[in-house]
């Protein structure tokens, strides 16, 4: 259970994963799925809306969705088999591009990756593929909007990657190789593999049918691994706000499955805001023998300010901190409690040499990291840190990072933090504060239609409903898109936790690749006939 509880420490991303493989179209699953009521097994024809009932009343029920015909499914399957080598070679070509957004010297490579994807989109029949440059960071958009009357599905993914230490890899990280049913290479699973799988799925439908069952928009990120920092500015452009608002449903392919036998949906992400603080007490360091006890010490002042932000139990003492945090429905807390019951909290404390948990007593440790706001000091420095020096430091610097639970607002929280610091700076010291980044939390309600669609399709793909999890970290684009007037992004990806994304020897299971190829058409058909989004309430 140690690996399970690590979810708390690493934002609950992608844990408890196993092996095995099935496909939604596998006839061995058909009887079980019918018995479970996972779908109604009608023949919808092409892009024919089904009579959709209202949102399901019970939390565990599934929305009825549309499906491709059996003939189409067989045609897609044949297409994927006939083109499998070509599609995997496409992925190998993209893996070979060192698209490191955080390294300025690799900006040409990020652009090269964007151009590679754009050419692929143009060749397969997507329309208006465009590379956007915002302050040197690249984002690619494309669309196919020729399904009048049908909803519009927006897909998000990214083509930039994490750095590598090639000396720690068993293969060349920029030369994708397949061994034992796994493709190794940087970006193979995060997120170039899923992106290429999505494009290959769209290609199959466009080539075989000459059209897509619904309207489709793509926004592919070239700076996700660097925080997508320019996205708020890019999405604030009137043209982009208008474009993103056209989408009715949003899906994130930079997402995971729980295991080879179960899907996964992330219901929420905490937001974040940070503040860097510099306190200044003098024009330079002063001798502690000559001035100690008479002049302010900036290090002591910083300690006093930091201490003022916390209660003795570790809860946050900033005025208004808990006012806007969402009161969770009882069924949500029970859902989290079921997950919490599988975790060995004592083992976590022992293994990580943590003396005790802190925070709100009314919430379990996992709730505190998933659905409640938190405030941490992430950096602190003042005076001499090497050797001895008899001085009174003239400056002290610290950074606080707030994680925002559902209901909190990044800008409001930032202002609360700054106001508290100003109020509690002692002895008249000068204070300077800088806000580096902001991202609002994302909360996906049980009745969100996109979540219901993803859940229904994942249930068909795996033969059982997906695991619902919560994420203690933030995913910038998921927040930025919704804040700009677009839809909420729902998890629909096929990464697995043990595939070493961000680490050495990253790989993607080919079983996941094959499942993704067949699942994305199923997802698009499930969107057929669904209600259009009410832009006024998003």
For position 446, what pLDDT does the model report?
87
Which residue bears the tokens 């936790």? 497
**Tens-digit pLDDT profile for residues 401-426:** 999 999 999 999 999 999 999 999 99
- What is d(CA 320, CA 414) in angstroms, rounded to the nearest whole number? 12
What region, left, alpha or beta, does residue 323 occupy, with left being phi > 0 and alpha being psi -120 to 50 degrees? alpha
Query: For the ranges 244-253, 396-405, 470-479, which has the lowest average pLDDT?
Result: 470-479
**Tens-digit pLDDT profile for residues 75-129:** 999 999 999 999 999 999 999 999 999 999 999 999 999 999 999 999 999 999 9
Helix and strand tally (H, E) in the chain?
17, 18
For position 60, what pLDDT does the model report?
52
Helix (H, G, I), strand (E, B) or coil at 427: coil
Q: Examine the pLDDT at 16 and tell me if it is beyond 60.
A: no
- What is d(CA 513, CA 533) in angstroms, rounded to the nearest whole number? 30
For position 389, what pLDDT does the model report?
85
Q: Examine the pLDDT at 387 and tell me if it is beyond 90.
A: no
Q: Which fold has domain 271-325+373-439?
A: Alpha-Beta Plaits (3.30.70)
For position 535, what pLDDT does the model report?
65
**Tens-digit pLDDT profile for residues 283-324:** 999 999 999 999 999 999 999 999 999 999 999 999 999 999
- Average pLDDT of every residue of the chain: 89
Length of the chain: 538
Assess contact for 509 and 182: CB atoms under 8 A: yes
Helix (H, G, I), strand (E, B) or coil at 467: strand
**Tens-digit pLDDT profile for residues 55-78:** 333 445 688 899 999 999 999 999
**Tens-digit pLDDT profile for residues 235-251:** 999 999 999 999 999 99
For position 474, what pLDDT does the model report?
83
- What is d(CA 528, CA 256) in angstroms, rounded to the nearest whole number? 24
For residues 351-389, one letter each, b for 16 or more C-beta atoms within 10 angstroms of the residue's C-beta and e for the rest, the string is: eeeeeeebbbeebbbbbbbbbbbbbeeeeeebeeeeeee
Predicted TM-score (pTM) of the model is: 0.86
Provide the β-strand partners of residue 391. Answer: 287
- Taking CA atoms, 250 is separated from 215, 444, 489, in Å, by 12, 12, 4
Reading the block at residue 235, the tokens are: 């999405």
146/53: higher pLDDT: 146
pLDDT tier for residue 150 given thresholds of 50, 70 and 90:
very high
Long-range contacts (CB closer than 8 Å, 24 or more residues apart) made by 3-6? 4/342, 4/343, 4/344, 5/343, 5/344, 5/345, 5/347, 5/348, 6/348
18/62: higher pLDDT: 62
Compute the average pLDDT of residues 200-216. 97
For position 342, what pLDDT does the model report?
87
Structurally, what CATH architecture does the domain formed by 2-54+69-269+450-537 represent? 3-Layer(aba) Sandwich (3.40)
pLDDT tier for residue 275 given thresholds of 50, 70 and 90:
very high
The residues spanned by each domain of the chain are 2-54+69-269+450-537, 271-325+373-439
* 154: DSSP letter: E
């Amino acid at each position: 259970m140690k690996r399970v509880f690590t979810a708390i420490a690493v934002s609950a991303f992608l844990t408890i994963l196993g092996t095995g493989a099935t496909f939604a179209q596998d006839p061995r699953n058909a009887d079980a799925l019918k018995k479970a009521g996972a779908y109604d097994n009608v023949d919808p024809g092409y892009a024919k809306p089904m009579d959709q009932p209202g949102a399901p009343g019970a939390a565990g029920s599934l929305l009825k969705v549309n499906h491709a015909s059996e003939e189409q499914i067989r045609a897609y399957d044949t297409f994927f088999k006939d083109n499998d080598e070509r599609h995997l070679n496409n992925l190998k070509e993209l893996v070979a591009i060192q698209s490191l957004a955080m390294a300025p010297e690799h900006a040409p490579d990020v652009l090269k990756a964007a151009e590679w994807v754009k050419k692929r989109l143009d060749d397969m029949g997507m329309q208006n593929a465009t590379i956007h440059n915002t302050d040197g960071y690249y984002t690619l958009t494309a669309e196919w909007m020729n399904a009048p009357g049908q909803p519009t599905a927006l897909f998000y993914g990214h083509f930039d990657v994490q750095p590598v230490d090639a000396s720690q890899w068993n293969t060349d990280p920029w030369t994708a190789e397949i061994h034992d049913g796994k493709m190794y290479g940087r970006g193979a699973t995060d997120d170039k593999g899923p992106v290429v799988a999505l494009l290959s799925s769209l290609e199959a439908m466009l080539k075989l049918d000459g059209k897509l069952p619904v309207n489709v928009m793509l926004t592919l990120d070239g700076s996700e691994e660097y925080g997508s920092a320019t996205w708020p500015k890019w999405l604030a452009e009137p043209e982009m706000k208008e474009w993103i608002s056209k989408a009715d449903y949003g899906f994130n392919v930079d997402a995971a499955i729980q295991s080879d036998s179960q899907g996964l949906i992330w219901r929420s992400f905490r937001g974040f805001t940070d503040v860097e603080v510099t306190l200044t007490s003098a024009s330079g360091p002063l001798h502690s023998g000559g001035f100690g006890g008479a002049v302010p010490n900036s290090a002591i002042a910083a300690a006093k300010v930091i201490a003022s932000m916390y209660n003795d139990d570790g809860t946050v003492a900033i005025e208004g901190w808990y006012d806007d945090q969402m009161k969770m429905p009882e069924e949500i807390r029970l859902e989290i409690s079921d997950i919490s019951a599988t975790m060995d909290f004592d083992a976590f404390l022992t293994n990580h040499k943590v003396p005790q948990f802190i925070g709100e007593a009314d919430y379990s440790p996992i709730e505190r990291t998933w659905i409640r706001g938190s405030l941490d000091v992430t950096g602190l420095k003042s005076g001499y840190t090497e050797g001895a020096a008899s001085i009174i430091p003239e400056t002290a610097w610290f950074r606080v990072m707030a994680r925002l639970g559902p209901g909190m607002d990044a800008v409001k929280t930032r202002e609360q933090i700054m106001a508290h610091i100003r109020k509690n700076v002692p002895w008249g010291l000068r204070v300077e504060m800088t806000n580096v980044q902001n991202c609002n939390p994302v909360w996906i309600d049980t009745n969100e239609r996109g979540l219901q669609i993803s859940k229904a399709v994942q249930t068909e793909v795996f033969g059982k409903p997906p695991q619902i999890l919560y994420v203690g970290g933030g995913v910038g684009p998921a927040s930025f898109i919704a804040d700009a007037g677009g839809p909420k992004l729902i998890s629909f990806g096929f990464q697995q936790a043990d595939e070493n994304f961000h680490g050495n020897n990253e790989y993607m299971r080919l079983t996941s690749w094959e499942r993704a190829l067949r699942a994305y058409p199923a997802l698009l058909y499930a969107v057929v006939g669904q209600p259009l989004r009410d832009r006024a309430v998003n």
